Amino acid sequence: MTYKNYKLVNIFMLIYFFFGVESFTPVGRIAHSSVLAENKLYFFGGVIDDKACSNEVFYLDVSQPFVTETPPWTDLTLNSGIPLKSCWGTVSSNEVQKTIYLFGGSTYNLMKDEDSFISNVYSFNLYSSSWNIPNVIGIAPERRRAIKSVIDNAGNMYIFGGRTCTCLGAETTKLFNDMITLNTVELSVSINTPVNAPSKRHSYTATLLSNGFIAYIGGLEFVESREVDIKQVYLYDTKSLTWSLKVCVTSSTIDNRSGHAAILTPEGNETTNKSGTKPTNEPINKFNKRQFTMKIIIATVSGTLGTVIIVASIIFIYRRKRKSNDRRNSYVSPEPVESGSGDKVVSEERNPPGEAYQIGHYQN
């Protein structure tokens, strides 16, 4: 193998050990926020164990087919993590501005698990992958969590209801049934509580329909967190700013639920995820700390060993190359000498091993 090939192999090993030891795989979580932007499904924050929120930012590239067992995750946390730990908030994407807006939720200091509130709104620029706190005009709404938002083509972001609690700095638990409209173009906010609004609730689904209506399904209502009848679908008209109620008639039995998800299919039919939860006091225990710690240890040890191997290989190749150069330089052709007949004899020139020998000759 030539010296050049040795260099290429070492470069490959360096890249492998430092960047290919283990690809990023997000740990399980709840209370995170997600949104589709530029064929990438972005994820923000969430609760990754029984109490701690996260500032993680990562995305799943859905522009190309992929194997579901090994999704193409990309982690942005190191350079573009949320400025604080975030969970139970909501996000929407302004496609024109190429900006994702994070609203509300629980926010904690990065170094300590302490409430750290600065703003209701944070913006994430997709071009620069940087965060900013926009200067929003209007009366700031009360802090809230367990909310869902949608955004229309005009850049208006709608956030309905939600709940506050002592973890958000409130004196008592409180629910809302107002409609917050964040204009992401003018950076202004307004709060509206129209007549016929649904009961105060949270943990519902919000889906923007093609006709400009927002459909709200399920969730928990009142302070005692009573389940909302899932057959009652409230519609909010974003043009007239009014509410209406539709009751679904079906022969199927669908359980009430909260914390579920819903999307609008290309055919215009809303699909509600069958997952979700019922009220429970059971702790969250989805995050395997031991497994996560072992992965970090394995990656660190592998990276260290890889570095040692690479450095040793480079030193070995350097010394071998230097020795070869020294041997090459030691073969110096002698000066011509006078023969007994008066002719000059050019001695045989010895070349380093591996090269052709040149036989001496006579000159008159």
End-to-end CA distance of the chain: give it in Å, rounded. Answer: 46
For the ranges 24-28, 63-67, 103-107, 273-277, which has the lowest average pLDDT? 273-277
The pLDDT value recorded for residue 289 is 45
Q: The tokens 């995305």 sit on which residue?
A: 59
Please give the pLDDT value at position 78: 96
Question: Hey, what long-range contacts does 317-325 have (CB within 8 A, 24 or more apart)?
Answer: 317/3, 317/6, 317/7, 317/10, 321/3
Closest C-alpha among 213, 247, 103, 107 to residue 161: 103
Give yes or no for residue 294 having a pLDDT over 70.
no
User: What number of CA atoms fall less than 13 Å from residue 74's CA on the CB side?
Assistant: 11
Q: How confident is the model at residue 302 (pLDDT cuts 50, 70, 90)?
A: low
Distance from chain centroid for Cα 203: 23
33-47, 50-64, 104-118, 319-333: which range is least confident on average? Answer: 319-333
Of 180, 18, 46, 26, residue with least CA distance to 106: 46
Q: pLDDT at residue 170 above 60?
A: yes
Amino acid at 91: V
Chain-centroid distance of CA 300 in Å reads: 22
Instruction: Provide the angle, in degrees to the nearest 10, between the axes of the packed helices 289-330 and 3-19.
Output: 170
pLDDT one-digit tens code per residue, 234-280: 999 999 999 999 999 887 889 999 999 999 988 777 655 545 665 44
Q: List, for residues 87-102, the tens digit of each pLDDT value.
A: 999 999 999 999 999 9
Confidence tier at 286 by pLDDT (50, 70, 90)? very low
Q: Check pLDDT > 80 for residue 128.
A: yes
**For residue 334, what pLDDT band results from cuts at 50, 70 and 90?**
low
pLDDT band at 331 (very low <50, low <70, confident <90, very high): low
Q: Which residue has the higher pLDDT, 267 or 120?
A: 120
* Domains defined for the chain, CATH in brackets: 1-25+301-330 (no CATH), 28-287 (2.120.10.80), 333-364 (no CATH)
How far, in Å, CA of 267 to CA of 174, rounded? 38
- For the chain, state the CA radius of gyration: 33
Question: Which uninterrupted H or E stretch holds 10?
Answer: helix 3-19
- Measured CA to CA in angstroms, residue 14 lies from 74, 100, 302, 305, 310 at distances of 20, 36, 11, 11, 7
* CA diameter of the chain: 126
Say whether pLDDT at 28 is over 80. yes
pLDDT above 90 for 300: no
Percent of the chain at pLDDT above 70? 72
Instruction: Average the pLDDT over 283-291 and give the result.
Output: 43
Question: 218 or 302: which carries more pLDDT confidence?
Answer: 218
- Token output for 304: 């260290």
User: What is the DSSP code string of 31-95?
Assistant: S-EEEEETTEEEEE--B-SSS-BB--EEEEE-SS---TTS--EEE-HHHH--SSEEES-EEEEET
Could you please report the per-residue DSSP string of 256-320? Answer: --BS--EEE-TTS-EEE-S--B----PPP----HHHHHHHHHHHHHHHHHHHHHHHHHHHHHHHH
| Rounded distance between C-alpha atoms, residue 174 and residue 165, angstroms | 6
Arithmetic mean of pLDDT over the chain? 82
Amino acid at 118: I
Mean pLDDT of 317-335: 66
- pLDDT bucket at 109, cuts 50 / 70 / 90: very high
pLDDT digits (tens, 9 = 90+) for 138-153: 999 999 999 999 999 9
What is the reported pLDDT for 322?
74
Report whether pLDDT(349) > 50.
Answer: no
Of 111, 41, 47, residue with least CA distance to 76: 41
Of 207 and 52, which is predicted with more confidence? 207
Residue that wins the pLDDT comparison between 78 and 305: 78
Is the pLDDT at 361 greater than 60? The verdict is: no
Cβ neighbour number for residue 108 with a 10 Å cutoff? 22
Torsion of CA 166, 205, 81, 157, to 10 degrees: -100
pTM exceeds 0.75? no
Tell me the sheet residues that pair with 94. Answer: 99
Q: pLDDT by residue (tens digit) across 217-227? A: 999 998 888 99
Is residue 222 a contact partner of residue 202, using CB atoms and an 8 Å limit?
A: no
Q: What does the pLDDT look like over 41-94, one tens digit per residue?
A: 999 999 997 778 999 999 999 999 999 999 999 999 999 999 999 999 999 999
